[in-house]
Amino acid sequence: MPVKHTLTKEIHKETKSGTTGCSTSIKEYPSQWVYTRNKITCEKSGCRN
C-alpha cells in the first residue's frame, strides 16, 4: 500500500520489510508516514517499478 511522507508530501511504495521501494526506512520516524490510496509520486527506482 502506498505511504505518504508528511514532510515532503511524496508518496512511496511500501515493502514488507518496513522500508519504501527506494529503501527509505518507515520504521525510523513512523510519525512522518501515513497510509494513502493516492498514486505513487516517487520517481526513484524501486517505487516506480
pLDDT, tens digit (0-9, with 9 covering 90-100), for 5-38: 999 999 999 999 999 999 999 999 999 999 999 9
Give pLDDT, residue 37: 97
Interstrand relation of 11-13 and 2-5 (parallel, antiparallel or unpaired): antiparallel
φ, ψ of residue 31 in degrees (nearest 5)? -70, -15
What confidence category does residue 46 fall into, taking pLDDT thresholds of 50, 70 and 90?
A: very high
Give pLDDT, residue 9: 97
Per-residue pLDDT at 49 exceeds 80: no
φ, ψ of residue 19 in degrees (nearest 5)? -125, 170
Which residues, at least 6 apart from 4, have a Cβ–Cβ distance to it below 8 Å? 10, 11, 12, 33, 34, 35, 36, 38
Give pLDDT, residue 48: 86
